[in-house]
Amino acid sequence: MVESQIVILVVAGSSPVARPLLPTPWLFYTAAFVDYGHLCLSYASAVRDASREVAAR
């Protein structure tokens, strides 16, 4: 019964590691998810654009 795990989460790419955009703890339902989905997509797109701008400079 010595039950224990270690989880290493490795991230790569332009997405932010942690961002207090949405309240935690979160549990979202289907309807809310659609809204969050739009928000995620627009945010991811903005991050990508910003990254490209930085890279271009």
Partner 1 sequence: MHHGKWPHGSDWLCEAVAECYLPLLRMCDALLADGIRPGITFDISPVLCEQLTHPDFPDLFRAYCAEHAGLAAADRTQTEEPLPEELMHSASWWEAWYNDRAKEYDEVYNADIIGALRRLQDAGAIEVMTCAATHGYLPLLAEDASVDLQMFVARANYRRHFGRDPLGTWLPECAYRPAYAWHTMLPVAAYSRARKREGVEQVLARHDLHYFVTDEPPLMDAKRLNARNKKPLSPFELYVVGSPPHKERVGVLTRNIKISMQVWSAELGYPGDGDYLDFHKKSSRSGLRYWRVTDTKVDMSAKQMYVPENAQQRARDHAKHYVSILETAALHRISESDDAAVTICLPFDTELFGHWWFEGPTFIENVLRGIQTSAVLSRTLAHERMQPENVVGEIALPESSWGNNNNHSVWMQHETFWLWEREYALERRVRLLLEKHHRARWDETLARIMIALFRELLLAQASDWPFLISNGTARDYASMRFHSHAADCDRLCTTAERYATTKAMTDEDRAHLEAGEARGLIFAAELMEYIKR
Residue numbers at the binding site for partner 1 (CB under 8 A) = 1-19, 21-22, 24-30, 33, 36, 39-40, 43-44, 47-48
Please, which residue, 11 or 57, has the CB nearer to partner 1? 11
**What is the C-alpha to C-alpha distance for residues 35 and 32, in angstroms, rounded to an integer?**
5
Measured torsion, CA atoms of residues 20, 26, 30, 36, in degrees rounded to the nearest 10: 0
Question: Which DSSP symbol is given to 20?
Answer: T
Please, which residue, 11 or 56, has the CB nearer to partner 1? 11
* Residue 29 Cβ vs partner 1, minimum distance, rounded to whole Å: 5
